[in-house]
Structure 1
Amino acid sequence: MKTKKVKNYPLYDATFFKDFRTLIENSAEKFRDQTALSYKDDPRGDETVKVSYRQARKEMRGLGTALISLGCREKHCAVIGGASLGWVYTYFTLMAIGAVSVPLDKEWPAEDLAATVSRADCEYVFYGAESAGKIAVLRKECPNIKEFICMTGLAAEGDRFVPELIVRGIEMYKAGDRSYYDYDIDPDRMASIVFTSGTTGKGKGVMLSQTNIVTDITQATYYFCVTPKTLMVLPPHHTFGSSINLVGHYALGSEVYISSGLKYLAKEMQEQQPSHLILVPLFVENLHKKIWSTAAKKGQDKTLRQMIGLSNGMRKIGIDLRRKMFSSILGMFGGKLEMIICGGAALSQDIIDTFDALGITILNGYGITECAPLISCNRNKLQVNGSVGLPIVGEQVKIIHQDENGEGEICVKGTNVMLGYYKDPEATAEVFDDDCFFKTGDYGRIDENGWLYITGRLKNLIIFSNGKNVYPEEIEAEISKIPGVCEVVVYAGESKSRPDREVIVAEIFPDEETLQLRGITDYEKYFSDEVKKANANMVSYKAVGLVKIRKTEFMKNTSRKITRFNIDKTID
């Protein structure tokens, strides 16, 4: 596919770190009294607590010294909890002392947590007080746990408490204990086991080294630079939340405000005034819907479209007044938001264009847990429509089993690629080819300029008996443009009465507020008519043959991805 030549610009400066301890030391010396982390003890209150880079180093070093005395070094340590200062300190410190962190989803049922803690051979469990009920189950089901350590809230009787360990470790360090530094970290050994979200079934334990994580961050920062302040919104147990939202910003000297949760996000954006955000597509889609629904409620949606058209026209002749023209909309996000770094799934180009028209740049990227996670990204001053960017520096990407359009499975090789799946050599062997490239399971193509495009997920691929392949994500992107679509999943319908019937189904969860504003009451007729119009823009074998309306939103994992494997696909 012929593409226009794209002119790149010089790389940004980047600093390489051997390991997490080096990163912590470097940031403390370089950024000193700048704010590294901030949060609120009471999300409803006014006071924001700020922690400088030097203070963070002192307290992480203290925690590390105390944890070494408890025997944590080189041991597997489960970390169960939401984003908090205690979680951040625990994660960084376990890396800095050479332990193996196993971050787990606090929303999992207690039985699943217990099974995973055992499966990962954990000997220490760090937990947030909000998970105390589930921890009670772990006490019974996991007899090999040596210590339960509370990160936030109130520790159960007999458990250790991170703030107390920090104080104890600082005193030990003052008294001459240098165990925190007296250890040569092997950056290439397993440092973390991250369990994949399992949107299509049971997750695997991805083994990542410190080299995987730290070099992924370093190689990414050649391509983009961040602004002074962001919010930590994403779940910390996922690599996009921990590596990109947390570790990357810590290395670059940005302030990370630790969000108290989604229910407080609107208030936090107003108060904290972030200059950029790290989000997954669903969050961005929700912000986009909020912009248009707010305008529609005020009867200003038509005016907004006209203003966007006017602004875009002015920019073509070198006049950029976006920050002034759309100040009321930007005010919804605190007024200082300049950029959103988005990854984890495909994001509609229409949404990217809308935010750009308002004065907010979206850097669309592509990542996967097994690659720590970033594989490619667009750049601050260079974005290519429809692309997830250039492969990060030092990484090789190839496309195998290409079709006539150059599309095939994306394969990756580089220092960011995982060590393998924990205690699963067969699954590990399956995902690496003979040249040691990791097979992502995602389909895409690379243009002649080296830019990567994602087509869809191999596991979601619809294969018809005539040999035609359909990527549901492509159709979902088209249907998502229909006003009133909140969520949509496309799949091959399963007929019990006619097993040989082949039909593409679009299952839609409506945005009732938008539909009501438009005076639409017959949802089935409206969406059927609109989908027929969308079909006209697609080749015949990709046409949707059946529209289903659902009353509840699709089930999602905590990274806000729809879990496709539990959708009922029957059509009769």
Structure 2
Amino acid sequence: METLQQLTDRIGAYGDRTGLVDLSSDMENVWTFPALRDESESLANRLLAEGLRPQDRVALIAPNSAAWVIAALAILRAGAVCIPIDTQATDEQLKHMLQLARPKKAFVSERLRKRLAAIDLEHAPETELLEGHLRGGQAEHPERDFPEVSADDTAVIFFTSGTTGPPKGVPLSHRNLMHQLEVLRDLRLVTETDRLLLPLPLHHVYPFTIGLLTPMYLGVPIIFPAGLTGAELMAALRDQEASFILGLPRLYSALYDGIQNRVAKLRWPLRPAVRGLASLSTWLRARFGVSAGRWLLRPLHGRFAPKLRTLVSGGAPLAPDLARRLEGFGWQVAAGYGLTETSPLLTLITPQSRNFDGAGKPVRGVTVRIRKTEDELGEVEVQGPNVFAGYLENPQETAKSFTKDGWFKTGDRGRLDESGVLHLFGRLSTLIITPSGEKIQPDPLEEHYERHPTIGEIGILQRDHKLVAVVVPEVEAAGEDVRAAISEALSAQARSLPSFQRLSGFEVSREPLARTRLGRIRRRKLQQRYDTLRAGQAEAETGSIPLENMREEDRALLEHEPARQVWRFLADRFPDVRLRPDSSFTHDLGVDSLGWVDLSLDIQHASGAELTEDDVAEIQTVRDLLRTVTRKTPKGVAAEPPDPLEYPEKVLSEAERVWLRPASVPTRWLGAIGYGLNRLIFRTFFELKVEGAESVPKDTPVILTPNHTSYMDGPALAAALDNDILSRLRWAGSRNILMSSRIRRFFSRAARIVPIDPGASARRDLAYGAATLKQGETLVWFPEGDISRTGKLKHFQPGAALLADKFQVPVVPVIIQGTSDALPPGHQIPKPKPVRVRFGQPLDPGAMADAGEEDRPWKRINRVLHDQMDDML
């Protein structure tokens, strides 16, 4: 029998066809099948040269990437055992898995290497960074004969999700996995003409076998998306022309909801037309088996995923209604059932069968039987070449999991119908038996309650012989009295249920229920959560919630390095609150519009993401912020962004640096003439009075900080300054106003204006200011950032204070009066009103920074400057 060791030979025979597109790297990374073969064989040679022996174990603890695939293929090629491990496992879980498996070596990401170094392991593996294993990353090693493995040798060790206990090691042999590849080949579910999108983590047997090994076996290109947000998945489907996607029910539910939301935003009559066509297509498919959705909804397909043909679901049951609706949109839908211990596939609903009311029929080579219990259902037991031999170092669990005649006990309740279709009714381990003897499987009951819009999540359990639940509300739908809203929602859903399925009590949790990466509730954690909430302890907790307690969407966001950096920053910034993805910046963290000013700068520093005012206006929760950061830094690992105060030239582009260069002689002459005319106009028509101008230093750069009540403030200040100062002075001017036309850009260049926009890029604005001061020039910076329509000083933005603190240049406060009468906001034609410009004494930023109790020097500078200017008004 062929083994996985020959997989690299097989993929090398597919010519120069694309084998892998890795969008998760810093740039689109396209690998041909021969390139994957060459790189993995090179690494396999090196591993053998370093002393790796057949059946030695090598762990892989890193997110999906081309390097991950190369390392896995190399481990198998060298005859060793691959151990994929979840990057989101807790330290306790990591320690348990590594001590149980005892790998000789571990390929890890930088983040995981640091975590492993802090874990006390009796037999710590040698760790090596995975990121180096890309083109050119392998040293040359002489080719050697690879040690042969047999079909019954272990190929991969997976770990169960551990919903009711610690993860168990599941060794799968080459025979187990090769059987699955041959079955899927014969089913023709995926063919060589497909392009497979794989958004699932490879440490699970389901994506590893069906999403990685099978495409490699059949010569099908694999696409790793840039991330797991809806936008990144849709971009991969559209731009990479994926025809096949491997996902979980929750992914397809989100996909369907996303499409429905887009349809809801269409204008009349498009909205009812699209909905009508979707309903017609669903009915035609269900009634006559006709797949009309692709051509009835062609524009929709073209917009979302023009080549998408097949959706394959696994990991949890796919709701029949959702499957039929997806079919109605014109896609083929397949759903499989299996376990880690069965490599994984046991039964399959094929696109041709279209019977989503069960779990499908057993695949070739698999035999299913039902061991009857006291009711009409029984435990599903299986046999087949895909079934593992026993748990790693756990003979007691192995003995409990097999019958005396060698059948594996799946732990699932089910029955076989007359046509051989398997129907499942939940896990035996989660079955709740009431005092009256009624049997309740919590999963379908939880789905029923979650249909109410007020209930975001619910986990049902039994306490003191009563049916109770932990409920996570949909905060927006719940309103202010959350507990009352949930009680009403539960009562409404219970009306259609028999009395024994109605809840006797519930507790409200703000934190998502702890789930496995495949979306299953961790039942042991649920019991702990209920007891903690019941005792009234949970709400007193502080710090960030554990990763395992987050929803899959939020954990996916934190796979993105910039988002993870922001999450860590927020945890450090708000240590005394319970930080959750749904924490409100206003209500939970106490961040108001003013607080966003310096918070956005810190976020830029942590992640490189520049937040605009529009972004901030849309951000209500931490989750919103993480999504925004992910969108603004869509690829790659967050690099330390250059400090705009230290390295302004690295922040500004070549086109932006043009505004800092000396102007041509004609342009300078035009500027001088313009300033002269401006001075004449103000003295003639506006009776300009100037006080304290002699206090402005002429031999050293300073920052002038005028108040701002009119668009005439800049011209008024220019009229109050002499030519010596104007010749070495730059103005921070609004990009939107002064750069909106060619003529305005020309005159702005002549007036020595640099374009800033506090609502768009604070880093760029600070870089302009820093570059100006570095050149020894004086800078005019309006600290309020916008016009005050009341005449009173508004809150000061941090820009001028940050610049003053960094460069330790004097700050000269300036008060301009009368311009708001001459040209009020909203008017275009000025009136001849008196204008007065007063200059204060230069302020030392060091002395200002020493005054007050604010936590940052720039805040202390701003407070002193604000008080000084307020006194001058």
- TM-score category by the smaller chain? 0.7 to 0.9
Equivalents in 1 of 2:493, 2:186: separation in Å?
40
Q: Choose the corresponding residue for 1:34, options 9, 13, 17.
A: 17
In structure 2, runs of 5+ residues without a counterpart are 535-873
Equivalents in 1 of 2:87, 2:356: separation in Å?
37
Rg larger for? 2
- Give the superposition deviation at 1:423: 0.8
Greater alpha carbon shift after TM alignment, 422-431 vs 253-262: 253-262
Partner of 1:280: 248
In structure 1, runs of 5+ residues without a counterpart are 1-16, 154-160
- Give 1:49-68 correspondences, 5 Å limit: 49-68=29-48
- Asked if the contact 2:469–2:530 (Cα under 8 Å) also holds between the matched residues in 1, the reply is no
Provide, for residues 173-228 of structure 1, a one-character-per-residue CA deviation record: whole Å limited to 9, x for no partner.
2xxxx323xx2211202222211111222111111111111112222443342151
Q: Does 1:113 align with 2:83?
A: no
Greater alpha carbon shift after TM alignment, 84-93 vs 472-481: 472-481
Partner letter of residue 35 of structure 2?
Answer: Q
CA-based RMSD: 2.8
Equivalents in 2 of 1:284, 1:368: separation in Å?
20
- Give the superposition deviation at 1:490: 2.6
Higher relative contact order (CA 8 A, sep 6+): 1
Partner of 2:80: 99
Provide, for residues 108-144 of structure 1, a one-character-per-residue CA deviation record: whole Å limited to 9, x for no partner.
2345424422321211111123423213335x63555
Equivalents in 1 of 2:182, 2:349: separation in Å?
15
Partner of 1:361: 332
- Give the superposition deviation at 1:546: 4.6
- Give the superposition deviation at 1:389: 1.2
Q: Choose the corresponding residue for 1:166, options 128, 132, 138.
A: 138
Partner of 1:334: 305
Report percent identity of matched pairs: 26
Equivalents in 2 of 1:285, 1:136: separation in Å?
39
Equivalents in 1 of 2:480, 2:235: separation in Å?
33
Q: Choose the corresponding residue for 2:180, options 212, 216, 237.
A: 216
- Asked if the contact 2:470–2:506 (Cα under 8 Å) also holds between the matched residues in 1, the reply is yes
Q: Does 1:131 align with 2:112?
A: yes
- Give the superposition deviation at 1:459: 1.4
Q: Does 1:435 align with 2:405?
A: yes
- Give 1:64-463 correspondences, 5 Å limit: 64-74=44-54, 75-110=56-91, 112-137=93-118, 141=121, 145=125, 147-152=126-131, 166-169=138-141, 172-173=142-143, 178-180=144-146, 183-226=147-190, 228-263=194-229, 264-296=232-264, 305-314=275-284, 316=287, 320-327=291-298, 329-331=300-302, 333-402=304-373, 404-405=375-376, 407-463=377-433
Equivalents in 1 of 2:276, 2:240: separation in Å?
31
User: Aligned in 2, Cα 1:456/1:253: closer, same or farther, shift over 3 Å?
Assistant: same
Provide, for residues 13-70 of structure 1, a one-character-per-residue CA deviation record: whole Å limited to 9, x for no partner.
xxxx6111223323332x2222111113645xxx533222222222222211111111
Provide, for residues 336-356 of structure 1, a one-character-per-residue CA deviation record: whole Å limited to 9, x for no partner.
222111111122111111111
Equivalents in 2 of 1:525, 1:33: separation in Å?
63
Equivalents in 2 of 1:110, 1:551: separation in Å?
24
Equivalents in 2 of 1:408, 1:241: separation in Å?
29
Equivalents in 2 of 1:152, 1:259: separation in Å?
17
Q: Choose the corresponding residue for 1:473, options 443, 459, 469.
A: 443
- Asked if the contact 1:77–1:123 (Cα under 8 Å) also holds between the matched residues in 2, the reply is yes
Equivalents in 1 of 2:514, 2:264: separation in Å?
28
How many equivalent residue pairs? 523
- Asked if the contact 1:95–1:210 (Cα under 8 Å) also holds between the matched residues in 2, the reply is no
Provide, for residues 309-337 of structure 1, a one-character-per-residue CA deviation record: whole Å limited to 9, x for no partner.
22234555787541244345435643222
- Asked if the contact 1:114–1:142 (Cα under 8 Å) also holds between the matched residues in 2, the reply is no
Partner of 1:569: 530
Relative to total residues, which structure has the larger strand share, 1 or 2?
1
Which SS does the other structure have where 2:466 is aligned?
coil
- Asked if the contact 1:83–1:259 (Cα under 8 Å) also holds between the matched residues in 2, the reply is no
- Asked if the contact 1:412–1:440 (Cα under 8 Å) also holds between the matched residues in 2, the reply is yes
User: Aligned in 2, Cα 1:143/1:204: closer, same or farther, shift over 3 Å?
Assistant: closer
TM-score (norm 1): 0.83
Equivalents in 1 of 2:299, 2:522: separation in Å?
36
Greater alpha carbon shift after TM alignment, 461-470 vs 293-302: 293-302
Provide, for residues 520-571 of structure 1, a one-character-per-residue CA deviation record: whole Å limited to 9, x for no partner.
8776666655555544544443344556554332222333333222123359
- Give the superposition deviation at 1:448: 1.0
Provide, for residues 489-535 of structure 1, a one-character-per-residue CA deviation record: whole Å limited to 9, x for no partner.
3322x2xxxx3x523x454434456x49xxx8776666655555544
- Give the superposition deviation at 1:291: 2.6
- Asked if the contact 1:229–1:255 (Cα under 8 Å) also holds between the matched residues in 2, the reply is yes
Relative to total residues, which structure has the larger helix share, 1 or 2?
2
- Asked if the contact 1:535–1:543 (Cα under 8 Å) also holds between the matched residues in 2, the reply is yes
Partner letter of residue 392 of structure 1?
Answer: V
Greater alpha carbon shift after TM alignment, 184-193 vs 325-334: 325-334
Provide, for residues 472-495 of structure 1, a one-character-per-residue CA deviation record: whole Å limited to 9, x for no partner.
122223334444554333322x2x
Equivalents in 2 of 1:217, 1:512: separation in Å?
45
Partner letter of residue 245 of structure 1?
Answer: G
Equivalents in 2 of 1:383, 1:471: separation in Å?
25
Partner of 1:509: 472
Which SS does the other structure have where 1:90 is aligned?
helix
- Asked if the contact 2:93–2:167 (Cα under 8 Å) also holds between the matched residues in 1, the reply is no
Equivalents in 2 of 1:59, 1:92: separation in Å?
9
Equivalents in 2 of 1:206, 1:386: separation in Å?
30
Greater alpha carbon shift after TM alignment, 59-68 vs 550-559: 550-559
- Give the superposition deviation at 1:254: 1.3
Equivalents in 1 of 2:227, 2:308: separation in Å?
19
Equivalents in 1 of 2:302, 2:164: separation in Å?
38
Equivalents in 2 of 1:388, 1:340: separation in Å?
16
Partner of 1:4: none
Which SS does the other structure have where 1:166 is aligned?
coil
Partner of 1:158: none
Q: Choose the corresponding residue for 2:2, options 13, 18, 27.
A: 18
User: Aligned in 2, Cα 1:80/1:357: closer, same or farther, shift over 3 Å?
Assistant: same
- Asked if the contact 1:231–1:274 (Cα under 8 Å) also holds between the matched residues in 2, the reply is yes
- Give the superposition deviation at 1:231: 1.7
TM-score (norm 2): 0.56
- Asked if the contact 1:364–1:387 (Cα under 8 Å) also holds between the matched residues in 2, the reply is no
Provide, for residues 288-314 of structure 1, a one-character-per-residue CA deviation record: whole Å limited to 9, x for no partner.
332333344558876654332222345
User: Aligned in 2, Cα 1:244/1:73: closer, same or farther, shift over 3 Å?
Assistant: same
- Give the superposition deviation at 1:251: 1.2
User: Aligned in 2, Cα 1:455/1:111: closer, same or farther, shift over 3 Å?
Assistant: closer
Greater alpha carbon shift after TM alignment, 199-208 vs 283-292: 283-292
User: Aligned in 2, Cα 1:530/1:428: closer, same or farther, shift over 3 Å?
Assistant: same
Which SS does the other structure have where 1:277 is aligned?
strand
